Structure formats: structure tokens, C-alpha cells
């Protein structure tokens, strides 16, 4: 941190607090759900992971919901894509 100007150093310190750590954990969990859902979709349909991601994204957009919500629904078999 020694090479950061004062205002950047202050942001760096603030951004490493508990609030941002919770956001990082939530973001990581969302990514994990999305990756798991891609695997489920790919396996169910015999498609590659890129196409599975496209299907998941299209599903989330069509329902105007966050991708991690669609991913959770796929994992729990509430949605069959």
C-alpha cells in the first residue's frame, strides 16, 4: 500500500473491511451457484458449458431475475433447462 496516494490508500483500507468481505463472499457464492447450474444444464442436455451459460442467462433475463436466482432454481430442480 505504500505507493498509493492518500485517497487511494484510504479507499483500499475501507474496502477491506467487514462489509466488503461480506459482499465478496456473496459474490463468490453467486458465482459458485452459476457454475453448478451450468454443469447441471450441460449434463441434462448434452451441451457444452458455454451453451449452458447462454441458456441460464436467457432464462434469467426472460424472467427479469438475477442469474444467481435462476441458478439456484436449476440446482434445486425447480426449473428444468
- Complete DSSP assignment for the chain: -TTS-HHHHHHHHHHTSHHHHHHHHHHHHHHHHHHHHHHHHHHHHT--HHHHHHHHHHHHHHTT--HHHHHHHHHTTSS--
- CATH architecture type of domain 6-75: Orthogonal Bundle (1.10)
Q: How far is CA 17 from CA 2, 3, 24, in A?
A: 19, 20, 11
Prediction pTM value = 0.66
Domains of the chain, by residue range, sit at 6-75
The C-alpha cell that represents 64 in the structure block: 427479469
pLDDT at 64: 97
Residue range 13-34: mean pLDDT, rounded: 66
Model confidence over 24-64: pLDDT tens digits? 666 667 888 999 999 999 999 999 999 999 999 999 999 99
pLDDT at 21: 60
Amino acid at each position: 500500500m505504500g505507493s498509493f496516494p492518500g485517497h487511494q490508500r484510504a479507499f483500499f483500507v475501507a474496502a477491506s473491511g467487514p462489509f466488503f468481505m461480506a459482499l465478496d463472499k456473496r459474490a463468490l457464492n453467486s458465482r459458485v451457484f452459476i457454475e453448478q447450474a451450468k454443469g447441471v444444464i450441460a449434463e441434462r442436455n448434452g451441451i457444452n458449458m458455454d451453451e449452458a451459460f447462454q441458456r441460464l442467462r436467457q432464462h434469467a433475463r426472460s424472467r427479469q431475475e438475477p442469474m444467481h436466482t435462476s441458478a439456484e432454481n436449476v440446482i434445486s430442480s425447480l426449473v428444468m433447462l
